[in-house]
């Protein structure tokens, strides 16, 4: 039995079809290209979960595969996880000291 994974050659990038999966997040306003990543950078926000929240909030209900309510639930879920992480970090600090 061969335990090695099957290796498949990578196609040249020119042969890989490209579809801009994030086009629905990008807008141009007064000549400035805006998207959630740019907005987070402008505000100095580097937290990944808060970035996900911003992304979902800016496009809630307009991302195509989820409706407004589902996006709000995702925002709540991400915020709850961020709060959990804060508590985990606090508990770790308390246990170290």
> 17-38 pLDDT, tens per residue?
777 777 878 889 899 889 999 9
Q: Establish if 39 belongs to a structural domain.
A: no
Instruction: Give the model's pLDDT for residue 53.
Output: 95
* DSSP one-letter string for 52-68: HHHHHHHTTT-SSSS-H
16 confidence band (pLDDT: 50, 70, 90): low
Instruction: Identify the residue with better confidence: 87 or 25.
Output: 87
Question: What mean pLDDT, rounded, does the chain reach?
Answer: 86
Q: Establish if 20 belongs to a structural domain.
A: no
Q: Establish if 35 belongs to a structural domain.
A: no
Taking each helix axis from N to C end, the angle separating 68-96 and 48-58, rounded to the nearest 10 degrees, works out to 170
Q: Establish if 73 belongs to a structural domain.
A: yes
The residues, any chain, with a CB within 8 Å of residue 72's CB and separated by 6 or more, are 60
Q: Give the SS3 label for residue 33.
A: strand
Q: Give the range of the structural domain holding residue 70, as residue numbers without chain letter.
A: 48-97
Beta bridge partners of 34: 27
Q: Establish if 81 belongs to a structural domain.
A: yes
> 64-85 pLDDT, tens per residue?
789 999 999 999 999 999 999 9
Q: Establish if 41 belongs to a structural domain.
A: no
State how many domains the chain has.
1
Residue 72 tokens read as 């709000």
């Amino acid at each position: 039995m061969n335990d090695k994974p099957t290796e498949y050659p990578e196609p040249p990038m020119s042969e890989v079809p490209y579809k801009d999966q994030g086009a629905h997040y990008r807008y141009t306003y007064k000549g400035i290209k805006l998207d959630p990543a740019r907005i987070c950078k402008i505000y100095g926000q580097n937290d990944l979960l808060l970035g996900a929240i911003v992304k979902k909030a800016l496009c809630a209900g307009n991302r195509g595969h989820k409706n407004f309510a589902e996006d709000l639930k995702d925002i709540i879920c991400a915020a709850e996880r961020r709060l959990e992480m804060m508590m985990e970090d606090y508990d770790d600090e308390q246990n170290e000291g």
